[in-house]
Chains A and B, each alone.
Chain A
Amino acid sequence: MSTPLISLRGVTKTYGSGQAAFQALRGVSFDIAAGEFVAVMGPSGSGKSTVMNILGCLDVPSSGEYVFEGEQVERLDRTQRALLRRHCLGFVFQGFNLLARTTALENVELPLLYRGLPLAERHAQARAALALVGLTGWEHHTPAELSGGQQQRVAIARAIVTQPTLLLADEPTGNLDSERSVEIMQLLTDLNRAHGITVLMVTHEPDMAAWASRTLRFADGLVSHDSAREAAP
């Protein structure tokens, strides 16, 4: 078996200290191989958001280790983690988090701007990403002029425009009706299958989790159920 893309070993996360200390993660270990489509489920407070923040390099574990493509993330400083996000990660948020009064094209090219790409290349790649999510012709519309589903597509385009190794989606369909949700899930599945992007998705809805190839269930700061382990005991 090849080395996994992501490897978590005994990861804990404690917020606060002393009496008020709260342990959000109590020793989480799992691997994710490149090309997987993983759904992360669990009630609120189960630690799934914390683990997403750690996987997204926005936060560091209190103890344990997190290896991303052979890189020990807990040893990186803020700037190094930002660079890791810039080059390897893509984020899709529940609330889309697009810049208001800014065109779809400008929103999508934003990560490329931080990568320091010249204008022509930025525009070409952003257009390609928008075409991939089916928004050709909407490049110059601002979020206010787009539907919720379209806004989330723009957000996905922004996340994949850098061709990330890992796409982290935090309840991507949370703000959408079921029809739009299916469209988004279809899109994520395509990206996973056709473009080999590893996708990690937090969701509350079993319908959405069903699209994934593997489900991780969290409860009380631990992984309570892993569909991969069940299949191959």
Chain B
Amino acid sequence: MFWNALLLALREIRRNLLRASLTVLGIVIGVAAVITMVTLGNGATALITAQVASLGSNIVIVRPGQRMSPGQPAGWAPAFKEEDADAILDNVLAVREVAASAQRGSTVSYMTESTFTPVIGTLPNYLDVGSWKLAEGRFFHEGEQRAGRAVCVLGESVRAALFARGSPLGEKVRFRGVACEVIGVLAPKGQSALGQDQDDMLLMPLKSYQRRVAGRRSRQDVGTLLLAVREGQSTERVVREVADLMRERRGIAPNEADNFSVFDTRQISDALSSTTRVLTTLLGAVAAVSLLVGGIGIMNIMLVSVTERTREIGTRLAIGALEREVLMQFLVEAVALSSFGGLLGIALALVASFALTNLLHLPFVLDLQIMLLAFLVSAGIGVLFGFVPARRAARLDPIEALRHE
């Protein structure tokens, strides 16, 4: 009975191909919209995850002051000292390296060019801990750090601003009255997950920074501590242990809040992904409304079709079609239409999301689950919205139907 109904339904669709294609347009667009939105959302999430991973996968960041959003000033919270870094390395066994750094915004100039950029004083292990690579030259070594030599490594954005042509290696850039020799350039990382230019910075030995750049009062201060966690160790445990250690060292009473923050990169990644996930769901929901509209479109056409084919239905009933066979035929017709629309929608979504992800420079992440779901939903819409017209057709009185003009 089902195959008969399918055969009859397909013949019916073939008889009215143009109308059938217009009918399914709503479903096509709805399915395409849902899948495209979800694919773009997944792409955005993947991009953010990748960018956060570019910070290094097992990194814990310690900063003075509450809130982890970068760019927010530490405010009143006291800065860390270099001894804090040593204390962490000594007490928290899971920590492999600590890259302490201090920074200050400054205008950096070379010949007639100049740019405003954070000048960061740090240790030679910063390159390794922060997962940076060198594009050219070399990073400063321990001897230069201890001697407080005036050498620096440029981020790609700073290099581009100051040295449009020619290699910067060996040239001297100036800031805050210091002439500093460029010994290396970092390979670019691009924008961070929050849209910050990660390549906009100048790195120099911490000792040199403290001696020549930092103000008199904050000479011993360091800002951010970047901790590299040993392979296979839980970053969450490191976060807890470092927090306990810092509370102790900073003399915070048990009932007082932390005046520093410790977080790992996974936490940033989670926070950002949950934001994009909410957005994806929202956009998907809006798109799903168009699926509903598409379903109503199918119901509308099926109702018109039942009225238009009243005589035909009468003939079918007269020559011995059962009520349930007519019901089945119309139901299968609606489901065939909507499933076909679903398939077309998936094809359209593949093209659209491939084009859009390319255009928006997002990774193209295929989600087979959402495609299967969209297909099933569109078939379900056929059942849901095809039932009323099909029942109307099946319940027709053959005599009345045959008399219908």
Contacts and interface: CB of A to CB of B under 8 A. Distances in A.
Contact of B319 (A53, A100, A111): A111
A58 B396 CA distance: 12
B15 A79 contact: no
Interface in B5-20: 7-8, 11, 15-16
Contacts of B16: 101
Given A97-B311, A113-B7, A113-B8, A158 B322 contact: no
Contact of A82 (B1, B323, B399, B402): B323
Interface residues of A, number: 30
Interface in B149-204: none
A50 to B, nearest CB: 9
B254 interface: no
A86 B320 contact: yes
B312 A78 contact: no
Contacts of A59: 399
Given A53-B399, A58-B398, A93-B402, A110 B323 contact: no
Interface string B1-42: 100100110010001100000000000000000000000000
B318 interface: yes
B316 interface: yes
A116 B317 CA distance: 15
Given A58-B399, A82-B321, A110 B15 contact: no
B319 A91 contact: yes
A90 B319 CA distance: 7
Nearest to A96: B315
Nearest to A115: B320
A83 interface: yes
Contact of A114 (B4, B314, B398, B402): B4
Interface string B298-312: 000000000000011
A91 B322 contact: no
A86 B398 CA distance: 14
Interface residues of B, number: 23
B325 interface: yes
A161 to B, nearest CB: 10
A101 B323 contact: no
Interface in B312-337: 312, 314-323, 325
Contacts of A110: 316, 319
Given A97-B402, A101-B15, A82 B312 contact: no
A78 B323 contact: yes
A105 to B, nearest CB: 12
B3 to A, nearest CB: 10
Nearest to B16: A101
Contacts of A204: none
A100 B11 CA distance: 11
Interface in A10-61: 53, 56, 58-59
Given A78-B323, A93-B402, A113-B4, 17 more contacts: A56-B318, A58-B318, A79-B323, A82-B321, A82-B323, A85-B320, A86-B321, A87-B320, A90-B319, A91-B318, A93-B315, A95-B311, A102-B11, A106-B11, A110-B316, A111-B319, A115-B320
Interface of A: 53, 56, 58-59, 78-79, 82-83, 85-87, 89-91, 93, 95, 97, 99-102, 106, 110-111, 113-116, 158-159
Interface of B: 1, 4, 7-8, 11, 15-16, 311-312, 314-323, 325, 398-399, 402
11 contacts: A56-B318, A82-B320, A82-B321, A82-B323, A87-B320, A90-B319, A97-B315, A110-B316, A111-B319, A113-B8, A114-B316
**Top 10 A-B pairs ranked by shortest CB distance?**
A86-B320, A97-B315, A101-B15, A85-B320, A111-B319, A91-B318, A58-B398, A82-B322, A58-B399, A114-B320
